[in-house]
Amino acid sequence: MSFTVLIPARLASTRLPNKPLADIAGQPMVVRVAERAEQSGAAQVLVATDAPEIAAACADHGVRALLTRADHPSGSDRLAEACEQLGLKGDDIVVNVQGDEPLIDPALIDAVAGLLSKRSPAQMGTAAHAIESIEEFTNPNVVKVITDAQGLALTFSRAPLPWWRDGFAGGITQLPTAPAPLRHIGLYSYRAAFLRAFPRMAPAPLEQCEALEQLRALWHGHRIAVHIASAAPGPGVDTPEDLERVRRLWA
C-alpha cells in the first residue's frame, strides 16, 4: 500500500511561538517529526507550510517542503492545497501527521494509513487508545471517541463518553467497562479526493460547539474508521512545559 505523509506546520502559535523550529537535540521539531514519519511505510513525506523559514529549515536537513498560502484557516485546508500541488489522484491515501508530534510511532502511521483499504465505507481514518484514569476521562482537553461494531466512529466529544447512567449516579468514581472509554489520537488518513472536498463542506453546528473539526465529516454523512492502539502515543508539544518534557525524553 502506497501513501503520502503530509505534515502541516505554521509559525503562529499563541502558547509556544515558532513551535515548529523549536530545537530538539540539535534539530528543529518539524524535522524530528519528518524523520519519524520517514520510518513508516510512506512513499513520500513532505512538510506543508506557509513560512519560508520552516521551508528553509527543512531544506537544510534534507526534508521536502511545500510552500502554501498563508490564509488557510486550518491544517486541512493547507493539506488540500498540498494535494493539488503534488497532483495526487483521488484514490491516493494521505496521512496527516501533526507537526508537534516528534515522538509519533511510525507503526501507528502505517496502521492509520491502512484503515482506508480495509474498511471501504470510510473516507477518513484515525486512531484511539484506552483511557485508564478518571482524570483523563473527565478532562475536556482529552477528546473521546465511540465506535460501532465495525470500528467506525459514531461520535467524538470532549465530554465523558460513554456516559454510564447507573454507575455515575453518585459522581464519576470509576471508569465504565462496557464499552471501555477511548481517547482520540489526532492522526488522520484521507483519500485525496475527500481531503480536497473537506474544506468546502459547511462547518457543522456540533463541530463549532465542540471545536472538533472531524465532526464535520460525520455531520455530512461520511464515515471515519478508528484504529485502536495498544498504548498511548508519545507526548506532543503544545506548551513550553511540553517541549521540555519531550527534550528530556529524547535525551
Q: What is the mean pLDDT of residues 36-65?
A: 96
Q: Write down the pLDDT at residue 15.
A: 75
Which residues make Cβ contacts (< 8 Å) with residue 70, sequence separation at least 6?
Answer: 50
Q: Mean pLDDT throughout 165-190?
A: 94
Per-residue confidence (pLDDT) for residue 163, from 0 to 100 = 96
Confidence label for 145 from pLDDT (cuts 50, 70 and 90): very high
Contact by Cβ (8 Å): 234, 104: yes
- Check residue 56 and give its pLDDT: 96
Comparing C-alpha atoms, which of 104, 80, 94 is closest to residue 30? Answer: 104
Tell whether the model's pLDDT for residue 196 goes beyond 90: yes
Please give the average per-residue pLDDT across 128-139, as a whole number: 96
User: Does the reported pTM lie above 0.75?
Assistant: yes
Q: Taking the CA of residue 199 as centre, how many other CA atoms within 13 Å lie in the half-sphere pointing to its CB?
A: 16
73-126 pLDDT tens trace: 887 888 999 999 999 999 999 999 999 999 999 999 999 999 998 877 899 999
* Average of per-residue pLDDT across 201-230: 96
Query: Once rounded to an integer, what is the mean pLDDT over residues 208-225?
Result: 96
Which pLDDT belongs to residue 73? 80
Long-range Cβ contacts of 60-65 (<8 Å, 24+ apart):
61/27, 61/28, 61/31, 63/30, 63/31, 63/34, 63/35
CA distance 67 to 50: 5
- Could you tell me which of 98, 69, 90 has the C-alpha nearest to residue 7? 98
Does position 12 have pLDDT exceeding 80, yes or no?
no
Question: pLDDT at position 233, please?
Answer: 87
Selected residue with higher pLDDT from 55 and 119: 55
